[in-house]
Amino acid sequence: MLDRAPAPSVEKVTMDKLLPDALKDLWDTVDEEHFTSDQFYREQLHLLEVHRDVWREALVLDGCTNLRESLLRELGDYVACNDLNELERRCSIAWKGVEDEWHERVDPSPNARAIEQFYDRTEAYLYNLTWWHTLVEDDTPLAYVLALRFGQRHQCRRYLDFGAGIGSGGILFARHGFEVASADISSSLIEYSDWRFKKRGIPAILVDLKAQAMPAESFDLITAMDVFEHVVDGAVAVDQIAGALAAGGYVYGRFAAEPDDTRPQHIAHDFEPVFQRFHALGFEKVWEDEWLWGHQVFQKA
Delimit the domains of the chain by residue range: 10-59, 67-133, 140-299
Q: Per-residue pLDDT tens for 165-224?
A: 999 999 999 999 999 999 999 999 999 999 999 999 999 999 999 999 999 999 999 999
**Average pLDDT, whole number, for the chain?**
92
The answer to whether residues 266 and 260 touch, using CB atoms and an 8 Å cutoff, is yes
How many CB atoms within 10 Å of residue 8?
Answer: 15
The answer to whether residues 91 and 127 touch, using CB atoms and an 8 Å cutoff, is yes
12, pLDDT greater than 70: no
The answer to whether residues 209 and 241 touch, using CB atoms and an 8 Å cutoff, is no
The answer to whether residues 277 and 235 touch, using CB atoms and an 8 Å cutoff, is yes
110, pLDDT greater than 80: no
User: What pLDDT does 247 receive?
Assistant: 98
8, pLDDT greater than 80: no
Closest CA to 163 of 237, 78, 56, 58: 237
Cα–Cα distance between 53 and 60 in angstroms, integer? 10
Instruction: Please compute the mean of the pLDDT values over residues 149-174 and round it to a whole number.
Output: 98
Q: Per-residue pLDDT tens for 237-271?
A: 999 999 999 999 999 999 988 878 888 888 888 99
Residue 111 DSSP class: -
User: What pLDDT does 258 receive?
Assistant: 81
Q: Which fold has domain 140-299?
A: Rossmann fold (3.40.50)
Cα–Cα distance between 46 and 42 in angstroms, integer? 6
The answer to whether residues 264 and 107 touch, using CB atoms and an 8 Å cutoff, is yes
232, pLDDT greater than 50: yes
CA distances from 101 to 21, 95, 121, 139, 164 (A): 39, 10, 10, 25, 20
Distance from first CA to last CA of the chain, Å, rounded? Answer: 53
Residue 181 DSSP class: E
What are the residues facing 161 on neighbouring strands?
182, 223
Task: Calculate ∠ Cα 250-294-130, nearest 5°.
Answer: 85
Sheet holding 158-162, edge to edge: 204-208, 179-184, 158-162, 219-224, 245-253, 296-299, 284-288
Closest CA to 19 of 48, 45, 40, 42: 48
Cα–Cα distance between 242 and 217 in angstroms, integer? 8
Three-class secondary structure of residue 285 per DSSP: strand
Cβ neighbourhood burial of 106 (10 Å; 0-12, 13-18, 19+): buried
pLDDT band at 116 (very low <50, low <70, confident <90, very high): confident
Cα–Cα distance between 98 and 96 in angstroms, integer? 5
Query: How many helical (H) and strand (E) elements, i.e. helices and strands, does the chain have?
Result: 13, 7
